[in-house]
Structure 1
């Protein structure tokens, strides 16, 4: 008598596990958009609240722009009478001026009013240029056109011809740099008046009296 052979027990395979990629459970942009539409359809007040907030923000932006335009329009509508140069001028020239009305927004705060008495100019100005207080030389003599706090020293350099007022120069003597960044403020014949730093003035004056001072023109 044959006995039935017992069926072999099937090996149970381990449950399949799928490796989840990072961020797989996070809702994507499409799901978020769909969720937003769903919630908006269920709760209409959310949509209308968002619309109202956007409308308020746009209204504030438009109001600010309109206010800025009104301010600019008002500034351009206000004029101020100032002095402008009549023709081109070189440093040291006596200023010829005209009084004109210009928009206040285009006028510098230090612009000269018609009540000012323009004298000699410290720098070159062009025709129609608005004159300000710093354009005018103060006082009289060679130091009138010098920067405040500087000292003017007369130099005689036979090698320098036709140097112009307003030129930046360095002063050398006996192979040494005596002053740098000087400013020519006046030229009378062969004498060049140079405004230098007060600390450099004694050496420049000593070299000028010994006729050993020379001018150099930095670039």
Structure 2
């Protein structure tokens, strides 16, 4: 069972914050905080990540452990001792395509610098993109991930082309975007949404193609 609601309440009290003040920090409403603390709802994944980063608390502990007052105080001390920049550098800053951004996805296309960033312990020498699956992006019928999961993608590069066959990915080009299955036979590579829609890979268009490399699910 997730401990997020109880931990939010304890964090708020230790920090001397009202429900409204806590809500304001994370661009939420007082009603949101009340519903979390009373276990009537759980925050979305991006909110959990924001809270964890803001208070320098590991995400797994924030979700799974009943935090004590001493732990909350000393998490902050620990990160001060280690150096705030070191703590920040231990997480990748990844462009994040959430529900709001997905509604206007065309404006981002390949310019992901316009997107907000999330901090997450996943690394690659190539560009990464995080997408929250909110049902706004077309997907194959066999897409196995629950809505609201955050999916992490790595932009295609020559070194991973041989690993694509039967892996899920993401394709975007202007108004055309979808999650799909990769099929690779020799040098012919395509990503397929269904039997009617697909995109054929060409090296000159490599920035349009992404490979799924990880996912993050909220603990219920």
Fold conserved (TM > 0.5)?
no
Using structure 1 for the length normalisation, give the TM-score: 0.23
Bigger radius of gyration:
1
Higher helix share: 2
